[in-house]
Amino acid sequence: MPELPEVETIARELREGSEKRGSSVLGRTIVGALIRWPRHLARLTPQAFRRRILGQRIQGVRRRGKFLLCDLTRGTLLVHLGMSGDLRVSLPGEAADPHDHTRFLFEDGSELRFNDTRKFGRVYLVASPEEVIGRLGPEPLAPRFTAEKLGAMLAARRRQLKPLLLDQSFLAGVGNIYADEALHRARLHPLRRSDTLSLREVSRLYRGIRDALRRGVRLNGASIDWVYRGGGMQAEFRVYDREGQPCPRCGALIQKMLVGQRGTHFCPQCQRLK
């Protein structure tokens, strides 16, 4: 599933334009919408959605957690990419992919296409984005998110670290990949209880989260399965998807276990359970 670095990359490339995602969407006016998978739409019928989106101008593109937000003339279009979603701007007259299930039509014949092979993505059109994202936790790369803030959040809960980091109401944007990478950087076991961390361990976790995410953003995210391509973070994974390979820090073989039904990778030497 695309996480913070992947969604941040998509938002940036839709704002600025790129070879992979086509020209910028900023300033474009939406003149129609094709909904081939109505379940993409949250809250609105296809008919109501088309009426409300018609004539809207895209004024900004940004990210909050794992959500992509397009600021419109009236309201906000939010897209959650689900497990397999991606967005790109097509050329005028370009044939659609069979998995381009939701398409936003522009005046010049180009389209913003939401490609979603597994069909788990969701599209929201709301007056205020807080209707959808109001309960998300803090942004881990925001300047106001400090080690002290993280420490207080961890101490207030009695949960295992890995499931807690995946909880979007606790911290927005971190998913399975970057949680594993952050915990390895912090030398903390995924099953360690959040309220048992020392100040030094909290500091390590804070740096681990931010370092993993920042590296992912710099490398345009990680190429995931057949869906999200163009990122380079997968070449720098320390533990994720490296079961049976040596730990880059100590050489012990990386192990994999299930935590909350999620595959979790860790080093048994560097990340001992205390």
Domain ranges of the chain: 4-133, 147-266
Q: What is the pLDDT of residue 228?
A: 67
User: If residue 162 lies in a helix (H) or strand (E), which one and from where to where?
Assistant: helix 161-166
pLDDT tens digits for range 51-98:
999 999 999 999 999 999 999 999 999 999 998 899 999 999 999 999
pLDDT (0 to 100) of residue 230: 77
Q: What is the pLDDT of residue 84?
A: 86
> 258: which 2 tokens?
């299930």
Query: Which residues neighbour 66 within 8 Å (Cβ) at sequence distance 6 or greater?
Result: 1, 2, 3, 4, 7, 80, 81, 168, 172, 173, 175
DSSP reduced 3-state for 247: coil
Q: Band of the pLDDT at 225, cuts 50, 70, 90? A: low
Please state which CATH class domain 147-266 belongs to. mainly alpha
Q: Once rounded to an integer, what is the mean pLDDT over residues 25-52?
A: 97
Among 247, 246, 218, which Cα is nearest to 233's? 218
CATH 3.40.50.720 at 4-133, yes or no: no
Query: Looking at residues 179-204, what average pLDDT do you find?
Result: 98
What is the C-alpha to C-alpha distance for residues 45 and 42, in angstroms, rounded to an integer?
A: 8
* % of the chain residues with pLDDT over 70: 98
Query: Which residues are identified as catalytic?
Result: 2-3, 66, 262
Q: How far is CA 216 from CA 229, 233, 237, in A?
A: 13, 6, 10
Rounded CA gap, 165 and 175, in Å? 8
Flag whether pLDDT at 48 surpasses 90: yes
Q: For residues 127 and 44, what is the distance between their CA atoms, to the nearest angstrom?
A: 13
